[in-house]
Structure 1
Amino acid sequence: MDRVVPPDFLRLAAHPVRWRLMSALAVSDLRVRELVGQVGEPQNLVSYHLRLLRDGGLVTATRSSLDGRDSYYHLELDRCADGLARSGGALHPALVGASAGASPQPAGPVTVLFVCTGNSARSPIAEVLLRGAAGGWVEVTSAGSHPKPTLHPQALRVLRERCGIDLGAQRPRHLESLAGRRFDVVVTLCDKAREVCPEFGDGSRRIHWSIADPAAGRVTFDRTADDIETRIRHLLPILAT
């Protein structure tokens, strides 16, 4: 009988430490020291397994915009989904995509706040994309820790082209204007804003997406919107629970 070798995804993900790392990164981007605290393993062991996950294409890393000596790690959920589907298909063709299904929806509205520094690009793009993807069961707002005077022209272009929405009359909002309000989920899209974002009610869930500022010129606005759109697709099932 031929020796059956498990698919690469299973061999990577099945290790207990790597599975715990993937579980920690499934919701929020995190730094190594935060992962060390969550998985309860020494930093050298965590770094070793992160390297294996990066080599396997399941995890990526980006330099922090707050401290360039630090990095945020991000789980590539689409690649994980593809790996799960391929692994199921390797066992039996009937298992390809067997876990896929429509995302549940909560009984009542869920309130979400997106935060970046200027509230001129990343967070308003996320606000519009989530509102469109979720329909009426998500109430979404965006704000900035140091808001710009106006929305970035390229952010306006992206939203016009993708959503047919013109936000030319909208002005960036300061976080302080939301004092006293409660949000079920607060998503920071900027490493700097993460460090200064206040709490918005007991039980509010904090999520971080380490997304480079497209206005800085390192990434395009379209690529940024693609990244946010993918993350929102993965966020919806979390909001529903």
Structure 2
Amino acid sequence: MEKMIPDRLAILGHPARLALFRLLMRRYPDRLPAGEIAGALDLKASTLSTYLSSLMQVGLVTQQRAGTSLMYSVDMETVRQTFDYLLIDCCRGRPEMCAPVPVPQTSGKRSVLFLCTGNSARSIMAEAILRDMAGDRFKAYSAGTHPRDSVNPNALQALEANGITAVGLSPKHMDAFYGHTAPEMDFVFTVCNHAANEECPTWEGQPINGHWGLPDPSSLVADGADMQAAFQQTFIALRQRIAAFVQLRLDSMDRIAMQSAVDFIARLPEDYDA
């Protein structure tokens, strides 16, 4: 394994291959089709194929066929082995230099930011659900990478149908939550694949990140009862994940445990009952 470390570092030393690796790390444990990766990174198919081949040769990325598609994911065991080797080698006798970033001790409410592309439906609904469910423990926010002008009326209707107020909700750009004057986040969750694939800023305070991707109900070509049903299904999926999240005993968890719990919640089935 040690013989492969220089090759892995050399492969990751290329900016475009590093960007590809970081994208797959952000989306782990998801497996992504080549087309989605190429679109997210604006790469030609032939160029992407070359980069993926290089990462697979050193064991950092795995390939799996799903029907007619090839799906890609990081090989987390190889990634852990590589990081462990580097940390053990550089921290020998000095563990305090390379210890994981501690979770800040929070005496008041923890801040949670939900991100999607338009900030008009899924992230807005998640913000409202968390406020309603545990507003005494969390400060809930939402934003978009390319925010719409207004909240989707079907999202508002779904919230109100479930007894949750929509007062004060509006789309905002994620830049409003970046910088020294912005509120410091404890958790940042992406709720759409497009936002998760984008390169987000380095958030102040190094919050726990999670990807709770859900289909966009507003993309459904339907109207009336079918559209309302799609938004209700999205509401239920978000409520299930948020219910599991608010039940976590965060005060007794370290950073690694929190990240594992957030990743576990992302894989919950849609019929999960918290």
TM-score normalised by length of structure 1: 0.56
Shift of 1:138: 0.2
* Partner SS, residue 113 of structure 2: strand
User: Which fold has the larger relative contact order, with Cα–Cα distance below 8 Å and residues 6 or more apart in sequence?
Assistant: 1
Q: Tell me how far apart the structure 2 counterparts of residues 206 and 129 of structure 1 sit (CA, whole Å).
A: 19
* Partner SS, residue 150 of structure 1: coil
Shift of 1:41: 9.5
In the alignment, does 2:163 pair up with 1:163?
A: yes
User: Gaps (5+ residues) in structure 1?
Assistant: 1-27, 52-67, 73-105
Asked whether the equivalents of residues 190 and 196 of structure 2 are also in contact (C-alpha less than 8 Å), the reply is: yes
Q: Tell me how far apart the structure 2 counterparts of residues 29 and 210 of structure 1 sit (CA, whole Å).
A: 12
TM-score normalised by length of structure 2: 0.50
Q: Tell me how far apart the structure 1 counterparts of residues 189 and 156 of structure 2 sit (CA, whole Å).
A: 21
Shift of 1:69: 6.6
1:77-156 equivalence runs, <5 A: 107-156=107-156
Q: Percentage identity across aligned positions?
A: 30
Q: Tell me how far apart the structure 2 counterparts of residues 239 and 31 of structure 1 sit (CA, whole Å).
A: 26
* Partner SS, residue 123 of structure 1: helix
Relative to structure 1, is the Cα distance of residues 108 and 170 closer, same or farther in structure 2, using a 3 angstrom cutoff?
Answer: closer
Asked whether the equivalents of residues 110 and 184 of structure 1 are also in contact (C-alpha less than 8 Å), the reply is: yes
Q: Tell me how far apart the structure 2 counterparts of residues 108 and 154 of structure 1 sit (CA, whole Å).
A: 33
Relative to structure 1, is the Cα distance of residues 210 and 149 closer, same or farther in structure 2, using a 3 angstrom cutoff?
Answer: same
Asked whether the equivalents of residues 29 and 209 of structure 1 are also in contact (C-alpha less than 8 Å), the reply is: no
Q: Specify which of 186, 198, 202 is matched with residue 199 of structure 1.
A: 202
Equivalence for 2:188: 186
Asked whether the equivalents of residues 62 and 72 of structure 2 are also in contact (C-alpha less than 8 Å), the reply is: no
User: Gaps (5+ residues) in structure 2?
Assistant: 1-26, 33-55, 74-105, 222-228, 252-274
Shift of 1:170: 3.4
Q: Tell me how far apart the structure 2 counterparts of residues 237 and 41 of structure 1 sit (CA, whole Å).
A: 34
Q: Specify which of 239, 247, 270 is matched with residue 237 of structure 1.
A: 247
CA RMSD of aligned residues (A): 3.2
Q: Tell me how far apart the structure 2 counterparts of residues 141 and 149 of structure 1 sit (CA, whole Å).
A: 17
Asked whether the equivalents of residues 129 and 164 of structure 2 are also in contact (C-alpha less than 8 Å), the reply is: no
Relative to structure 1, is the Cα distance of residues 237 and 164 closer, same or farther in structure 2, using a 3 angstrom cutoff?
Answer: closer
Post-superposition CA distance 1:108-130 (Å, at most 9, x none): 21010000000000001000101
Equivalence for 1:9: none
In the alignment, does 2:222 pair up with 1:220?
A: no
Asked whether the equivalents of residues 113 and 140 of structure 2 are also in contact (C-alpha less than 8 Å), the reply is: yes
Shift of 1:137: 1.1
* Partner SS, residue 172 of structure 1: coil
In the alignment, does 2:187 pair up with 1:174?
A: no
Q: Tell me how far apart the structure 2 counterparts of residues 239 and 187 of structure 1 sit (CA, whole Å).
A: 18
Between Structure 1 and Structure 2, whose CA radius of gyration is higher?
Answer: 2
Relative to structure 1, is the Cα distance of residues 239 and 131 closer, same or farther in structure 2, using a 3 angstrom cutoff?
Answer: farther
* Partner SS, residue 132 of structure 1: helix
Code of the residue aligned with 1:199 in structure 2: it is T
Relative to structure 1, is the Cα distance of residues 222 and 69 closer, same or farther in structure 2, using a 3 angstrom cutoff?
Answer: farther
Shift of 1:236: 1.5
In the alignment, does 2:30 pair up with 1:31?
A: yes
Code of the residue aligned with 1:151 in structure 2: it is V
Q: Tell me how far apart the structure 2 counterparts of residues 150 and 42 of structure 1 sit (CA, whole Å).
A: 40
Code of the residue aligned with 1:223 in structure 2: it is Q
* Partner SS, residue 135 of structure 2: helix
In the alignment of these two chains, the number of paired residues is: 156
Shift of 1:221: 0.3
